[in-house]
Amino acid sequence: MLGQMMQQPLLISSLLVHAERHHGEREIVSRRVEGDIHRYTYRELAARARRMANALTGLGLAMSERVATLAWNGYRHLELYYAVSGSGAVLHTLNPRLHPEQIVYIADHAEDQVLFFDLSFLPLIAAVAGRTKTVRHWVAMCARAHLPADAAGIPGLLCYEDLIEANHDRYDWPVFDENSASSLCYTSGTTGNPKGVLYSHRSTLLHTYAAALPDALNCSANDAILPVVPMFHVNAWGLPYVGCMTGAKLVFPGPALDGKSLYELFESEQVTVSAGVPTVWQGLLAHVQANGLKFSSMKRTVIGGSACPPAMLRTFGDEFGVHVLHAWGMTEMSPLGTVCSLKPRHLQMDAQARYAVMSKQGRAVYGVDMKIVDESGAELPFGSETSGELLVRGPWIVDQYFKGEGGNPLRVDAAGHGWFPTGDVATIDADGYMHITDRSKDVIKSGGEWIGSIDLENIAMAHPAVAMAACIAAHHPKWDERPLLVVVKKPGAEVTKAELLAFFEGKVAKWWVPDDVAFVDAIPLGATGKMQKNRLREQFKDYALPTA
């Protein structure tokens, strides 16, 4: 017997319809590439998105064809989020931090038909425009007054605001299968070509519901959300969709992601929630500490993308009264997998014990199932102190990569369930809190025993002289591999190797303490702000550890 409820597909356009109808007056604020501050409402967003949907129809876009963007966080990019997916096409957010060769490869692989771009990326567009195979239309996201006179050699360059003005806002969002593709993101893998992850309307809506929950990102109409995480990085972790679902004020920082610019926007717009990777927050904290500043409205920030150093958790909490939600996910997971929301008993703990819990990546949000397995594939119980490979499944987790790249990525268990192997090594405690101890490719195996590089990096980052730290495996004649700590010192700070190594005493087992420290000017970061340990391993492949 089937239930007798209405069958209404879960479509991204419904988020915009809801926001316009119930939160039409709520403000969306953007710092533009042009340098000024732009303000309008959800009602105006909806009207302009409908105009752009009509423009896409006029450009000949068919159902499921891909529309690419190379853009910062801003209101025009938000309009494309809804106009493209809502009209039945697929939004493909390109990462402008990639090399032009990678941009060309990804655009060709996706078969992008239209490419919208912010003017700050004009040199990048000029470098790739003559080399892509499928792009038929290039659109500069600006008004005609800002359109470059010579079009930088880009054939048939169109103007975004011209398209908006040439089309009316009467548009009925089409109704189609909720399993239809909605957006496309490519992994930022450090080996091989990036692989595409194709999200559906259904997966995106379910992810949005879960992300907004109180024990997840805890968003409501009373919030002002500033996503520092780029809209080209896994759809800004879903926050542009959460904004429409909840009616929260949205604040977009544009290209100005330095500490001073972010702080000014936080204060002027009374931001309550933000989200970004640790490297961004380092710059913000450095600015507020150097200038004796405080946050007047910010209540919490979501930190993900890579492990949040415990020292950063404590700085935000103890010095500034900002609660950190440590989160974890992947492009293949839309991306949200876990959030470190505390349970009632954790609130009764002393600060040190509470921060120890908060340093974990947290518990699974509803919709995500996870487990850890040993080297033989046997599942390890929650509460085991043994690390294992982390596997996940759920309705917004990838089933296969776009165009079948790399074959079937899933592992099928005895019950016939497919699990996605994350590549992370983790533990899960008795309360279900997951703690990543390493990436499988970054694990240091010394004398047959694993050493977690993330734990060592977090300890190093707590030293007052350390700005950034990475721990990698270096060859050892006896133990095969031993930890090498690579450190960037804070400006003007001084610390010796011996002092840093002594800092580990009593914090980890003696055999975990790094054998040596290498000081560098900078640690290479990838397109999403993650440390590129593969490049460090290549740089230090011949490093001679002290053996005495």
pLDDT tens digits, residue range 468-520? 999 999 988 878 789 999 999 999 999 999 999 999 998 887 888 999 999 99
Q: What is the pLDDT of residue 189?
A: 53
What is the pLDDT confidence band of residue 350, given thresholds at 50, 70 and 90?
very high
| pLDDT attached to residue 190 | 45
On whether the CB atoms of residues 118 and 209 are closer than 8 A, the answer is no
Residues identified as active-site: 187, 332, 445, 450
Q: How confident is the model at residue 448 (pLDDT cuts 50, 70, 90)?
A: low
* Distance, CA of 471 to CA of 196 (rounded, Å): 29
**In angstroms, rounded to a whole number, what is the distance separating the alpha carbons of residues 326 and 357?**
10
Place of tokens 């200038």: 291
Residue 278 has pLDDT above 70, yes or no: yes
Asked whether the bond before 278 is cis by omega within 30 degrees of 0, the reply is: no
Distance linking the first and last C-alpha atoms of the chain: 74
The CA–CA distances, whole Å, from 101 to 124, 213, 218, 233, 361 equal 10, 40, 39, 19, 34
pLDDT in tens, 518-541: 999 999 988 777 788 888 988 998
pLDDT for residue 82: 98
Q: Give the integer Cα–Cα distance in Å for 114 and 141.
A: 12
Give mean pLDDT, residues 125-139. Answer: 95
Among 79-93, 221-235, 465-479, the minimum mean pLDDT is found in: 465-479
Q: Identify the CA nearest to 406 among candidates 171, 188, 193, 109.
A: 193
In this predicted structure, which of 195-199, 308-312, 435-439 has the lowest mean pLDDT? Answer: 435-439
| Residue found by looking up tokens 């853009």 in the block | 71
Residue 410 has pLDDT above 60, yes or no: yes
Q: What is the chain's length?
A: 548
Decide: 80 and 91 in contact? Cβ < 8 Å: yes
Per the DSSP assignment, residues forming a β-bridge with 518 are: 486
Q: Detail the DSSP E strand segments found in 241-320.
A: 249-252, 273-276, 300-303
The residue among 189 and 178 whose pLDDT is bigger is 178
pLDDT > 90? residue 412: yes
**Inter-CA distances, 156 with 58, 302, 337, 435, Å:** 15, 41, 42, 51
Which of 34-48, 57-71, 305-319, 467-481 is the least confident region? 467-481
**pLDDT tens, residue by residue, 248-263:** 999 999 999 999 999 9
Residue 19 pLDDT exceeds 60: yes
Q: With pLDDT > 70 as the criterion, what percentage of the chain qualifies? A: 98
